[in-house]
Copies of this chain bind each other. A is one copy, B any other.
Amino acid sequence: MHFAMLLFPGFEALDVFGPLEVLNVLSERKQIYLSLLASSLTPVSTQSPDPAARRAGSICAQEVLPTGTFADYLQDARAPDGVKGNIDVLVVPGGAGTRYPHAIDPVIEFVRGIAPPVKYIMSVCNGAGVLARAGVLDGRRATTNKMLWGQTTALRGEVRWVRDARWVADGNVWTSSGVSAGIDMMLAFVRETYGEDLASGIAQEIEYVWDREEDGTRDPFATAAL
């Protein structure tokens, strides 16, 4: 199974590395393939493009290396001789970068270009706003993080936003609530795909208190930021 995590400047670190921790452990038991895709092969930083984020004068960022580019992937996928490396599960994280066109527009364009052949599309946190803007969530039930609820859900009225949810699976589209909720969602996806024992075993190994409710409809943060 081929997973692809999309990266962009100002991605939220745990939106990416929570689900990837689950996949890293999974990868020792099941054959999976992970791509980290970005606009270019330049390392991608968590540094927020938002000047307000720098007001405290901190220097605190992490840079991750992509394994491929959006353009190269699309070219490979469209090659007449086959479906080299077709993505099964596309994961879009959130982060402050989602509010900056130069950071996020290439991601939206890529999601639009690739959505149909992908088996599953997922978002973490306000990555749901990226899927919404790409039109992927139209008519779907979906959730997003609670602190930015108003501004993210306002991006697209055609989505059936569900506030009280740690994650929502509507067909092949999975969305999670804020940051840490991406871990719960990915564990639920592992459960659906590979079974309860493997998902529970991974939660145990990473000592994560997984909200394992069947359908994700419980969210301790749903009312907190109203």
Which residues does A use to contact B, with CB under 8 Å? 3, 12-14, 16-18, 20-21, 23-24, 26-34, 36, 43, 46, 48, 52-65, 145-147, 177-181, 183, 204-209, 211, 220-221, 224-225
Residues from chain B with a CB closer than 8 A to the CB of A46 are: 24
Which residue of chain B lies nearest to A53 when distances are taken between CB atoms in the complex? B28
The distance from the CB of A215 to the nearest CB of chain B, in whole angstroms, is 18
Known: A34-B60, A60-B33. A145 touches B14 (CB 8 A): no
Residues from chain B with a CB closer than 8 A to the CB of A58 are: 27-28, 30-34
A31 with B14: CB separation less than 8 A: no
Bound Cα distance from A191 to B162, whole angstroms: 32
Known: A207-B146, A209-B220, A221-B207. A61 touches B34 (CB 8 A): yes
Bound Cα distance from A3 to B58, whole angstroms: 11
Residues from chain B with a CB closer than 8 A to the CB of A178 are: 205-207
Which residue of chain B lies nearest to A22 when distances are taken between CB atoms in the complex? B14
Most chain B CB atoms below 10 A, which of A14, A34, A221? A14
Bound Cα distance from A52 to B27, whole angstroms: 11
Bound Cα distance from A30 to B61, whole angstroms: 14
A206 with B179: CB separation less than 8 A: yes
A-B contact pairs, 24 of them (CB 8 A): A3-B60, A12-B21, A12-B24, A14-B18, A14-B206, A17-B62, A18-B18, A24-B60, A24-B61, A27-B60, A28-B54, A32-B56, A32-B59, A32-B60, A33-B60, A34-B60, A34-B61, A36-B62, A43-B65, A62-B64, A63-B64, A178-B205, A179-B205, A209-B211
Which residue of chain B lies nearest to A208 when distances are taken between CB atoms in the complex? B180
B206 with A60: CB separation less than 8 A: no
A224 with B204: CB separation less than 8 A: yes
Residues from chain B with a CB closer than 8 A to the CB of A29 are: 56
The distance from the CB of A198 to the nearest CB of chain B, in whole angstroms, is 12
Residues from chain B with a CB closer than 8 A to the CB of A60 are: 3, 23-24, 26-27, 32-34
The distance from the CB of A197 to the nearest CB of chain B, in whole angstroms, is 14
